[in-house]
Every structure is written in C-alpha cells, then in structure tokens.
C-alpha cells in the first residue's frame, strides 16, 4: 500500500482511509466495531464532520483510548467566529480528545483570506494546540483554485474520482506542487462508481488521500483487501474507466445532499440521479413502493429555485429531476432498465 504525505502537515498515512459520514446511519456499537476493524486492517486516517449528526461521537468512542495511534480530521460549517468556537469545543468533547489533527472549514463558498474572522480563529486555535493543521473543503473548482493560489491552507478536500476533468486533475497536481495535502472526497461519486479496483488504481497515480465513505462490514472488506493485494492501472482497468466516463460524464447528481431540504419534501439527492442508480445498482431497490412514492413527489415541484442556489455543481435541479421522473415512469410502464 502506497503511503501519502499530506503536504506540509507532514502527516504520512497509507493511501486508503475511512470517511465516517455513513456511520451516522448505523448503531454506535456497529460503528465502533467498523472503525476498530478499519484500524486493525491498516487504516490510520479518519474523516468526520460536525454536520454528520453523531459521527463524531462514534469516532470518539472508538479511538479515545488510542488517540495517539490515529489521525482525525473534522469540519465546521460556521460562518462566524462565535459558531466556529462553539463547533470546535463540541467536536473536541464528542471526539473525546484535546486536539484535532486537521480542522477544516466545511464546503466554503469562497476562499477565506488571512484577514477573515474564520481564518484568524483557525490560527488562534492552532496556537492554543486545539488543532494541529488548518484545512478547508470546497466543491466548486474555481473556489478550490483560489484556495491553492492563496497558500494559506495546509490541506484541501475536494471531490476527486476517475470522472475528474482535466481541470480537476490539474488542481490535484497543483496541490502537490505547492505542498498542500489533497484529501479526495467522493471517490465513488456518491455511490455511482462501483468498481473498487478501478477507483483505487486511479488514485494511486496521484499524490491524493482518498476517503472512502464506509457504512457496512462488506464495504470495508473491499477496501481493506488493498493492504494485501497490490493494485495498479492496467489496460483492462483503463478501458473500463474510459467506458464508464463515456456513460457518466455530463450533467449528473453526485448525491451530496447540499440542495436539501426541499420546500415540498422531494428527496432531491436521490431523485435527481434515479436513472443512473436504476442502471448501476440492483434496480428492484429503486423500484420499491417507497421510491415510487418519493419519485412522484417531483410532480409537486414549484420551481422555487432554492435547490439550484445550494448545488455546488450548479445543476439545473428542477429540470434534472423532471427528466429522471419521465424516465422512471417509462420504466414502470415496461421500458427495459
């Protein structure tokens, strides 16, 4: 397993790490067992966030007795200094620690400069020893590029998978050139990518640290095997990626959920990519009575446009969900999946 140095943080860990957002959907005992197995299998870096409901609490329960053996990153969505400190103190309490390895400003709308109150709060927290490194996350490529140019942040977390554009690949290489740690989120593009070998082989060609969102033991097994099985890019994998890119590139929803909640109750982050999920996952799951009812809610969309303003990828969500509904209705009427 290749090791990755996260830029000037000096943190060096295996290029195979744990994204703890999904563990908010399992019990505390299940989450702790999952996290312990991840550590035993070789993972050393664990990423969570204040916004992930009880994820921090579960990470804290798993690692409080072995805090010096793991690296923990978490995030704040604070928009002012007061909420920054409130979030930081809450995170420290729930994680059962007196420091956070990488503290990140979460999904920022712009690059906060050195005079911004949130950046100044980061500096103060680092001086106090409450955080060790200053990080930031973004979804918009222009914002991410501004962050790299600023040179202010030790790590950048950004969506990165084998669907990456040339511009996004350049961003990853620019981070390496500027000694900024690149944490790759959404390496599975919100669950659309299902070939773990292809996802891992792609990452190995870059100085990036992928965080795989893991909820189940069988999912964890798929990633832990790479500590025993060497994986690299082959002609077969390269051809698979080419074909997958051809079928997916363009306007598609990554399922991040930042568009939510919908004013009329539509489950946007699933309904907006239903056509893809029907063809890339067991279709019977998405044709259940529950999802049929959820999809029909699209008919009540009032075009308020709020979802569009929240979407990090600037998708025309009302149009996209209606396209998915039309396809869904055709499938219910007998169109082959």
In this structure, what token pair is assigned to residue 227? 């500590």
Taking the alpha carbons of 266, 272, 274, 275 in that order, is the dihedral positive or negative? positive
What's the angle, vertex CA 24, arms to CA 18 and CA 30, rounded to 5? 75
* Segment 36-43 mean pLDDT: 98
**CATH 3.90.1170.50 assigned to 3-243:** no
Q: What is the pLDDT of residue 336?
A: 86
Mean pLDDT confidence for 254-266: 91
Residues 25 and 31: their CA atoms lie apart, in Å, by: 9
Residues composing the chain:
337
Looking at residues 53-69, what average pLDDT do you find?
97
Per-residue pLDDT, 225: 97
Residue 336 backbone phi and psi in degrees, to 5: -60, 140
Domain boundaries, the chain: 3-243, 268-332
pLDDT interval class at 254 (50, 70, 90): confident
What digits encode the pLDDT tens for the residues 121-166?
A: 999 999 999 999 999 999 999 999 999 999 999 999 999 999 999 9
Cβ-defined contacts of 273-280 (< 8 Å, 24+): 273/190, 273/192, 273/324, 274/324, 274/325, 274/327, 274/328, 275/323, 275/324, 275/327, 275/328, 276/192, 276/248, 276/252, 277/191, 277/192, 278/328, 278/331, 278/337, 279/337, 280/192, 280/194
Whether pLDDT at 303 is above 90: yes
pLDDT of 298 higher than 80: yes
Q: How does pLDDT run across 193-249, given as a tens digit for each residue?
A: 889 999 999 999 999 999 999 999 999 999 999 999 989 999 999 999 999 998 887
pLDDT of the residue at 162: 95
Q: Helix (H, G, I), strand (E, B), or coil: what is residue 283?
A: helix
Give DSSP secondary structure letters for 164-232: --HHHHHHHHHHHHTTBEEEEE-TTTTTT---HHHHHHHHTTSS-EEEEE--SHHHHHHHHGGGTS---
The 10s digit of each residue's pLDDT in 71-81 is: 999 999 999 99
Instruction: Return the structure tokens found at 59.
Output: 């990470």
Confidence (pLDDT) at 313: 83
- For residues 141 and 172, the answer to whether their CB atoms sit within 8 Å is no
Alpha helices (H) in 12-69, listed in sequence order: 28-41, 55-63
Q: Which candidate, 113, 110, 46, 42, places its Cα nearest to that of 75?
A: 46
Percent of the chain clearing pLDDT 90 (strictly above)? 89
């Amino acid at each position: 397993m290749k090791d990755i140095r996260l830029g000037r943080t000096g943190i060096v860990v295996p290029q195979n790490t744990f994204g703890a957002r999904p563990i908010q959907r399992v019990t505390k005992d299940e989450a702790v067992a999952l996290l312990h197995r991840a550590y035993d299998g070789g993972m050393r870096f664990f990423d969570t966030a204040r916004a992930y409901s009880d994820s921090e609490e579960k990470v804290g329960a798993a690692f409080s007795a072995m805090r010096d053996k793991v690296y923990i990153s978490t995030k704040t969505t604070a928009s002012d200094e007061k909420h920054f400190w409130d979030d930081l103190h809450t995170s420290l309490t729930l994680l059962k620690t007196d420091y956070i390895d990488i503290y990140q400003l979460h999904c920022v709308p712009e690059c906060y400069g050195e005079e911004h109150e949130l950046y100044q709060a980061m500096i103060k927290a680092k001086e106090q020893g409450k955080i060790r490194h200053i990080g930031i996350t973004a979804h918009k490529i222009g914002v991410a590029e501004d962050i790299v140019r600023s040179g202010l942040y030790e790590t950048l977390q950004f969506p990165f998978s084998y669907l990456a554009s040339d511009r996004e690949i350049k961003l990853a290489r620019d981070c390496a050139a500027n000694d900024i740690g690149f944490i790759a989120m959404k390496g599975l593009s919100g669950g659309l990518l299902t070939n773990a070998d292809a996802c891992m082989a792609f990452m190995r060609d870059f100085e990036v640290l992928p965080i795989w969102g893991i909820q189940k033991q069988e999912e964890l097994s798929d990633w832990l095997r790479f500590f025993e099985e060497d994986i690299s890019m082959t002609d077969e994998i390269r051809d698979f990626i080419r074909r997958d890119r051809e079928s997916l590139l363009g306007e598609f929803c990554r399922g991040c959920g930042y568009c939510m909640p919908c004013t009329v109750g539509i489950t946007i982050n699933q309904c907006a990519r239903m056509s893809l999920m029907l063809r890339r996952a067991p279709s019977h799951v998405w044709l259940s009575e529950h999802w049929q009812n959820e999809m029909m809610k699209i008919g009540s969309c009032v075009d308020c446009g709020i979802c569009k303003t929240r979407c990090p990828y600037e998708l025309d969500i009302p149009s996209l969900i209606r396209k998915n509904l039309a396809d869904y209705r055709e499938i219910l009427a007998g169109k082959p999946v």
